[in-house]
Structure 1
């Protein structure tokens, strides 16, 4: 088996594990376990908590002490065992603790998988910039495949989805040990803790433009997982009104259109950045979030299915134009000496602090608009849409940036 094929398999499984439960677990917890919105939001916020420090810690361990592919394998195996344990749990406190430890082990594997891939490609003389994206896209395909499998098997509202994720995680953990070796770096080349978590990039906050950008990124990061948290439960609540509709029968298939859209919008980023610059691209992303939530508010799985499908398509722009374009902007605006740290800081602000507060506050909103177990989804989605709209109004006023077309290179 060729190197690229092996890396494709690794990336496929990396996100297959996540896709098996990330989109449907919220519905399982609300519908089957009868958890509150705050409880569901807090469990999802564990990914934000873990993203604050665990990628840095595991990065240092792989930089200084153990081979990266071995750290990757160990993390996946123990994370998978925790998912299998979670499948037996029905009470909130225990499930929260298990999912917190799972997040602490899984979230670092995203960066570790990239490290293993980059190292293997570089050692074989491949151009990473050209060779890795076609490999990484199979991660998104793996995510979608897992969603579809769980959906077709009818496991979106039960714990079997965790068995799928756990089984795939153990397989990936064992497979990781067979990947090309990436030994610890020499001490002088290894990154420090401050560098890994982005602490030395805090100097960027002295620049008003970057301070505004990172702050807005945190607030916008709060919106990233909201539809993942509550999309399944939202569709399930139409089971009485539209019991035979596609969205109710196959919620994961409908929601997976979002990931398909994401893979397509990635390809448009170079054009939009070159044509309009980061400020307008970010503004497009924010308005896309406004539209994303609004379409959920007025759509339904019956005669409003087309509105939900449109919302799934819009998601690609909302997610990619913020996450990918924002990362590229940070790379361009940062001093080469602190670029790795700057990317770490961007992750902390979005997937760390943003995801944490987004999970907690979105759960509070859902509970606020829930009466006797009945959720007012229109008010819920419009609240999220209004939140994004406020960001859309504030962002262009406070973010001062003049786009110079020649500065952006495809």
Structure 2
């Protein structure tokens, strides 16, 4: 086996396990917290908000360690080994405050590994003279495959409301943590060691807020980022609640919510291939508007769907998710890439992540919890159509306002190769 092919397989395994681990609990943990631990929507939103809190703090802190003191693959390994121990311990606590604290530690270990995965892969590919733009996407797509496989396993084993999903995640984290020690070396770079603390934390990118166009973009990144985790929190709970209705309780959607939800990830893997075409033909502003309107459809189709005559609407909602998620994240990243000064482009990308996965996640998870509670009766029955239509209205307002206030002509020099 050639060294280049061997490297690709090693990075594929890393990506597969990285997202397999996340897929064991991200879309089903809400069911476990609701059905098994009987937490309310606000409490569940608070627990999921730990991802946003961790995204605000940990990537920068561990980035300093990986950039200045310790090989990135070793930081990566330590994070996953600690995460494995925490996931294994999590089922042994049931009080909200304890679950919240342990979950905060879990996400503090996991969230920075998303960036470290890219760092390790990019470094290894550059050292082997790979064309990263060409060769990394086929490697990265195996992460989506891993996420789907994990969702299917949890679903088929009937673990969506069981702590076994956490034990499966712990096993995956342990295997990945040990495997990480065998990954290509990614030592600290002397150039980054000598950089200022302001640059290391990405604070120099905040100068972009002085430019109206960029300020509007980042604000809407935060507001749309609030929508990204809503269906991860409540999608499977929504399907699970149909079991309360006699005519739906034996339907495929109720019996296998994980498999049905995985259509979203399959769609995501397919739509990412269409982005260069849409970018070249319609431009960044229109692609981002398409994403916002796709979020409107994502929520509205859930609102009118059911596991019987309305199953087609639920399936369409899953399909449109790929456009909603990918078109915003990838087009937004490309906008930052082409519109910022190369001297702090990496910091600007970090700011984009901070606004979407950090502040946006906190706002979305906490805010959506209050919306769900607002439409939950005293006996615990949720008015799901009203819930989803509220989220759809939110996305529609964003789309309308964005189309008016964001001024950007279709003259972008987007790299689509």
Give the TM-score range, shorter chain.
Answer: over 0.9
Q: 2:387 aligns with which of 356, 380, 389?
A: 380
Q: What CA distance in whole angstroms lies between the structure 1 residues aligned with 2:25 and 2:303?
A: 24
Q: 1:354 aligns with which of 353, 360, 369?
A: 360
Displacement, 1:160?
A: 0.4
Q: What CA distance in whole angstroms lies between the structure 2 residues aligned with 1:364 and 1:68?
A: 39
Q: What CA distance in whole angstroms lies between the structure 1 residues aligned with 2:225 and 2:101?
A: 23
Q: 2:199 aligns with which of 175, 187, 195?
A: 195
1:66-77 to structure 2, matched below 5 A, reads 66-77=70-81
Residue equivalent to 1:161: 165
- Checking the alignment, whether the CA contact within 8 Å between 1:52 and 1:348 is kept in structure 2 is yes
Q: What CA distance in whole angstroms lies between the structure 2 residues aligned with 1:311 and 1:190?
A: 48
Residue equivalent to 2:411: 404
Residue equivalent to 2:397: 390
SS in 1 for 2:190: coil
Q: What CA distance in whole angstroms lies between the structure 2 residues aligned with 1:147 and 1:188?
A: 38
- Checking the alignment, whether the CA contact within 8 Å between 1:50 and 1:103 is kept in structure 2 is yes
Displacement, 1:405?
A: 5.9
5+ residue gaps in structure 2?
Answer: none
Q: 1:129 aligns with which of 129, 133, 145?
A: 133
Q: What CA distance in whole angstroms lies between the structure 2 residues aligned with 1:136 and 1:321?
A: 17
1:11-410 to structure 2, matched below 5 A, reads 11-186=15-190, 191-241=195-245, 242-371=248-377, 372-404=379-411, 409-410=416-417
Displacement, 1:119?
A: 1.3
Displacement, 1:188?
A: 5.3
Q: How many residues align?
A: 410
Q: What CA distance in whole angstroms lies between the structure 1 residues aligned with 2:383 and 2:9?
A: 47
Displacement, 1:191?
A: 4.8
Q: What CA distance in whole angstroms lies between the structure 1 residues aligned with 2:413 and 2:122?
A: 29
The two structures, once aligned, show a CA RMSD in angstroms of 1.2
- Checking the alignment, whether the CA contact within 8 Å between 1:56 and 1:193 is kept in structure 2 is no
Displacement, 1:32?
A: 1.6
SS in 1 for 2:227: coil
CA separation of 1:44 and 1:278: change in aligned 2, threshold 3 A: same
CA separation of 1:175 and 1:347: change in aligned 2, threshold 3 A: same
- Checking the alignment, whether the CA contact within 8 Å between 2:68 and 2:192 is kept in structure 1 is no
Displacement, 1:406?
A: 5.5
- Checking the alignment, whether the CA contact within 8 Å between 1:60 and 1:190 is kept in structure 2 is no
Displacement, 1:183?
A: 1.2
- Checking the alignment, whether the CA contact within 8 Å between 1:196 and 1:340 is kept in structure 2 is no
* Regions of 4+ moved over 2 Å: 187-198, 405-410
Q: What CA distance in whole angstroms lies between the structure 1 residues aligned with 2:19 and 2:332?
A: 22
Displacement, 1:408?
A: 5.2
Displacement, 1:230?
A: 0.5
| TM-score normalised by the chain length of structure 2 | 0.96
CA separation of 1:406 and 1:346: change in aligned 2, threshold 3 A: closer
After TM superposition, the structure 1 stretch with the greater mean CA deviation from structure 2, 86-95 or 144-153, is: 86-95
CA separation of 1:191 and 1:129: change in aligned 2, threshold 3 A: farther
Q: What per-residue deviation string (whole Å, max 9, x for no partner) do you get for residues 207-265 of structure 1? A: 10110000011000000000000011111111132111111000000000000000111
- Checking the alignment, whether the CA contact within 8 Å between 1:8 and 1:135 is kept in structure 2 is yes
